[in-house]
Amino acid sequence: MKKMIALALGAALLLSGCGGGSSSSAAAEEKYGSSTLKLYNWGEYMGEDLISNFEDEFGVKVIVEYFDSNEMMYTKLQAGDAYDVLVPSDYMIERLISEDMVQELDLSLIPNISNLATGVKNLPYDPNNTYSVPYFWGNVGIVYNHNNVDPAEVEKLGYNILHDTTYKGHIYVYDSERDSFMMALKALGYSMNTEDEGEIEAAYNWLLEMNNTMDPAYVTDEVIDGMINGNKDIAVVYSGDAATILDENEDMSFFLPTEGTNLWSDAMVIPANAENPLLAHEFINYVLTYDASYDNSETVGYSSSNQKVLDDMAAPDGAYGENEAYLPRTDYDKDEVFEDNPVLKQKLAELWIKVKASH
């Protein structure tokens, strides 16, 4: 989902060499009709060996291009750019499905879909995995320095801790209208997908008050290093980034507000104009294997969509066994998945600009 991760490569191409020789390449050509896969993914969102291992095993070459927002990815697709596999977020997948920009999957070619974690099954934007297969998932929550912030206060106030002037000048807020209005709406007891004008106005005023009284620092990827270094005491963070922060700074804790939050997921899809759908299916199936999923999750810190990997990572002796941010919260009735609503998103974007300009 919206990754707060450094995108030093931006939208540059990373060309990985073909793992096999000409004979294996020829075999791939015969089997899939192509020996080249074009992948469009978030930056720094893959295991260290994911691409090279896939190339070696299947005798193909993978061309990876990176995006830093769902909207950037959508614009490229609209312009006619062709990719074989994309990894967009939930609400964007909903839009791509409605606009016939992705194709139905042949699940007989993705037997490893049986490995999916319970928490990413039957998601509302694609309940039967007709078009998408989850890649990473998680929540949005609060990271805080438990030496400087009373855990009982965080648990009592939830997102309203961002209005406690005790911490003025000591908070990070993610620079995103969607996520900022989510926390404001949740703090007020509303749905983050509301279209009610009064509720949106109340959330706008909540954010205005935060902006004008708390001197927040609006950030994206820099929140990770900022919290690792202890530059601020409170931050609103994606759970995968929170897991990294907690791993690196033992003074930090993570809390999911009881008023609810965003349950997000990013998933693999095959665009309607994909040139190599057979190889795309092979790649999606490969990502769901234990080894590939483990490599992804261990490297990036986000929650795996593979149930066995998720269990092993979160086990007491697992890589994230003592990390309270790694395992997503599921089956909590106040948590929600973002719905696609371009009109609402545009309105919130305009209001968010006004919030940041108000101080």
Residue 179: name the closest of 269, 108, 239, 99 by CA.
Answer: 239
Check whether 21 has a pLDDT greater than 80. Answer: no
pLDDT value of residue 24? 80
pLDDT value of residue 105? 98
- How many beta carbons lie within 10 A of that of residue 12, not counting itself? 12
Residue 16: which pLDDT band, with cuts at 50, 70 and 90? Answer: very low
Share of the chain above pLDDT 90, in %: 92
Check whether 127 has a pLDDT greater than 80. Answer: yes
70: left (phi over 0), alpha (psi -120 to 50) or beta: alpha
Residue 14: which pLDDT band, with cuts at 50, 70 and 90? Answer: very low
Q: Are strands 252-255 and 132-145 parallel, antiparallel or unpaired?
A: antiparallel
Read off the pLDDT of residues 201-243 as tens digits, 9 standing for 90 and up: 999 999 999 999 999 999 998 999 999 999 999 999 999 999 9
Check whether 265 has a pLDDT greater than 80. Answer: yes
Residue 174: name the closest of 188, 184, 189, 186 by CA.
Answer: 184
Residue 346: which pLDDT band, with cuts at 50, 70 and 90? Answer: very high
| Backbone φ and ψ of 207, nearest 5° | -70, -35
Rounded to 5°, angle at Cα 111 from 109 and 115:
145
pLDDT value of residue 8? 39
Query: How far is residue 210's CA from residue 204's CA, in Å, rounded to a whole number?
Result: 10
Share of the chain above pLDDT 70, in %: 93
Rounded to 5°, angle at Cα 332 from 331 and 333:
110
pLDDT value of residue 146? 98
Check whether 176 has a pLDDT greater than 90. Answer: yes
pTM of the model: 0.92
Q: Are 65 and 85 in contact (CB under 8 A)?
A: no
pLDDT value of residue 359? 66
pLDDT value of residue 22? 61
Rounded to 5°, angle at Cα 75 from 218 and 122:
80
Check whether 108 has a pLDDT greater than 90. Answer: yes
| Backbone φ and ψ of 86, nearest 5° | -120, 160
Check whether 47 has a pLDDT greater than 70. Answer: yes
Check whether 11 has a pLDDT greater than 60. Answer: no
Q: HEC string of the chain?
A: CCCCCCCCCCCCEEECCCCCCHHHHHHHHHHHCCCEEEEEEECCCCCCCHHHHHHHHHCCEEEEEEECCHHHHHHHHHCCCCCCEECCEHHHHHHHHHCCCECCCCHHHCHHHHHECHHHCCCCCCCCCCCEEEEEEEEEEEEEECCCCCHHHHHHHHHHHHHCHHHCCCEEEECCHHHHHHHHHHHCCCCCCCCCHHHHHHHHHHHHHHHHHHCCEEECCHHHHHHHCCCCCEEEEEHHHHHHHHHHCCCEEEECCCCCCEEEEEEEECECCCCCHHHHHHHHHHHCCHHHHHHHHHHHCCEECEHHHHHHHHCCCCCCCCCCCCCCCCCCCCCECCCCCHHHHHHHHHHHHHHHHCC
Check whether 13 has a pLDDT greater than 90. Answer: no
- In terms of C-beta density within 10 A (0-12 exposed, 13-18 middle, 19 or more buried), how is residue 213 classed? middle
Which whole number is the average pLDDT over 307-336?
96
- In terms of C-beta density within 10 A (0-12 exposed, 13-18 middle, 19 or more buried), how is residue 193 classed? middle
pLDDT value of residue 12? 39
pLDDT value of residue 23? 65
Check whether 15 has a pLDDT greater than 70. Answer: no
